[in-house]
Amino acid sequence: MLSKKTVTVASSSLWKSLRHVVVLYSLCGLISGYSERHVHDLMSRYPLIDGHNDLALQLRILHNNQLSQIDLHNVSKVATDITRLQAGHVQAQMFAVYVLCGAQEKDAVRLTLEQIDVVRRMCTEYQDFEIVTSSKELRSSEIRNKTACLISVEGGHSIDSSLPALRMFYQLGVRSMALTHNCNTPWAESSSKLYNVYQRHNNSLTHFGKAVVDEMNRLGMIVDLSHTSWGTAWAVLKHSKAPVIFSHSSSYSVCNNSRNVPDRLLHELKKNRGLIMVNLHSNFISCSNEANISHVADHFDYIKKIIGAESVGIGGDFDGAVRFPQGLEDVSKYPALIQELLQRNWTENELANVLRRNFLRVFKEVEKVRDQLKLNKPSEVQIPHWEVQNPCRLVLKRPELRQQSPSSRAQHGPKGQLGLVIVLLILSLFIIQ
């Protein structure tokens, strides 16, 4: 049997251990609370510019673009609405205008116009939103406490190999375009092998493809290399006069998916002064269906180690991809990612760059190149018809006159003319009477 003294000593030790646990638990709570407040303060001062969001696609799929049927403050079955954008400190959102690759050689231009229309409608009909078309407007929208809408065309098939169509999209407010989606265009190569169209060998960016890049540089439209093949990305990085972006791609060295960016392209992107905006899709983060915030942060750490924090941004791909890391299920969860990076000793200055300053720098430099090229006239380069091979593409020429049949010619011969004279004489007699 234990003595009273032994029991007393044991009880005292137990209480001391419990007090230590309570103190440690309280400290953890204070640290966590401080971290959350720190994140809120940081993201209030440097709210996020998100490089890629497919809400417009979901509006078409779920609601046939009928905005009158929904309230964008609270939308079910999607990862994005006004309430959650505000909770996630998303001050500017690049909304993707995307149409399926199956529309190539068909009605891609019309469908793209309809998607531009729905983005413009939602960003003008709701006072929380505001369409912006310049880096200056983007900065001023923050001051006015608006969520800025930037429009990006996702996939070069949307312009139907037409520089005039590209220019008209710019006039409608488009300020970025991904050169491909999951299909090749006649002039650029995709990272995907889903569609067996426009296959080429050793020609990832054609002469017309370079003309597209040149015209985007002249207009001040950001070239987006997400979804392009590595060969196309390399060619563009060597050719473009302005910085480019990967709007929603991650590190190939961390997850070897072809949609991600290998180190050699990251180094070239650094030389270009461009930007890679990390994609949150689980398959691009962990190369599996399951991922967590730590896996995402690994991509940020690796890219920072390779090319520096000044070349990193965030392009969530919400409402486009289908699987997201635990804790990052929708746009309201961005603070959890920033908290993880803070805990990994990212500085406030580095995170301010990631959240918005890097994108603003790229946008301003794209506009600077535009200003340098302002004396250049719009490009009149046309793609050769044999490169397009589109049966729905009309070749403008005078129609061939069909030869008239003998019976048709007879109607206009002497007998036909005599009959016409007789009819006119009879009509004139009635008129005289």
Set 81, 105, 154, 301: catalytic member:
154
Whether 186 contacts 161, CB under 8 Å: yes
Q: Beta 90-97 vs 129-131: how paired, if at all?
A: unpaired
Strand partners, 176: 152, 222
Set 50, 54, 301, 350: catalytic member:
54
Set 89, 181, 281, 295: catalytic member:
181
Question: 268 lies in a domain?
Answer: yes
Tokens for 345, please give them.
């000793």
Is there a catalytic annotation at residue 38? Answer: no
- Supply the pTM of this predicted model: 0.85
Question: 410 lies in a domain?
Answer: no
Question: 412 lies in a domain?
Answer: no
Which candidate, 243, 263, 274, 256, places its Cα nearest to that of 306? 263
The 10 Å Cβ neighbour count of residue 424 is: 9
- The whole-angstrom separation of Cα 94 and Cα 83 is 17
Question: 403 lies in a domain?
Answer: no
The phi and psi torsions of 180 (rounded to 5 degrees) equal -140, 165
Set 50, 52, 330, 350: catalytic member:
52
pLDDT tens-place values along the chain, 433 residues long: 445 444 344 445 544 544 543 333 333 444 445 588 999 999 999 999 999 999 999 999 999 999 999 999 999 999 999 999 999 999 999 999 999 999 999 999 999 999 999 999 999 999 999 999 999 999 999 999 999 999 999 999 999 999 999 999 999 999 999 999 999 999 999 999 999 899 988 899 999 999 999 999 999 999 999 999 999 999 999 999 999 999 999 999 999 999 999 999 999 999 999 999 999 999 999 999 999 999 999 999 999 999 999 999 999 999 999 999 999 999 999 999 999 999 999 999 999 999 999 999 999 999 999 999 999 999 999 999 889 988 888 877 776 666 555 554 444 444 445 554 454 455 455 444 4
Structural domain count, the chain: 1
Is there a catalytic annotation at residue 160? Answer: no
Question: 136 lies in a domain?
Answer: yes
**Host domain of residue 258:** 27-385
Set 317, 319, 330, 350: catalytic member:
317
- The whole-angstrom separation of Cα 154 and Cα 274 is 18
Question: 429 lies in a domain?
Answer: no
pLDDT of residue 6: 46
| Apex 189 CA angle, 183 and 190, nearest 5 | 45
Could you tell me the CATH number of the domain that includes residue 295? 3.20.20.140
Is there a catalytic annotation at residue 319? Answer: no
Question: 351 lies in a domain?
Answer: yes
The phi and psi torsions of 277 (rounded to 5 degrees) equal -105, 110
Within 13 Å of residue 360, how many CA atoms lie on the same side as its CB? 21
Type and span of the H or E element at 57: helix 55-63
Residue labelled with tokens 């006649």: 186
Type and span of the H or E element at 95: strand 90-97
Whether 229 contacts 191, CB under 8 Å: yes
What size, in residues, is the chain?
Answer: 433
- The whole-angstrom separation of Cα 4 and Cα 8 is 6
Whether 178 contacts 152, CB under 8 Å: yes
Question: 15 lies in a domain?
Answer: no
pLDDT of residue 419: 53
Whether 225 contacts 232, CB under 8 Å: yes
pLDDT of residue 151: 98
Q: Find all residues with CB under 8 Å of 303, minimum gap 6, and list them.
A: 251, 266, 276, 278, 311, 312
pLDDT of residue 71: 98
Whether 205 contacts 216, CB under 8 Å: no
Is there a catalytic annotation at residue 154? Answer: yes
Set 89, 157, 227, 299: catalytic member:
227
Whether 51 contacts 248, CB under 8 Å: yes
Whether 36 contacts 339, CB under 8 Å: yes
3-class state of residue 278 by DSSP:
strand
Is there a catalytic annotation at residue 54? Answer: yes
Amino acid at 347: T
| Apex 430 CA angle, 427 and 433, nearest 5 | 150
Tokens for 100, please give them.
């399926």
Is there a catalytic annotation at residue 181? Answer: yes
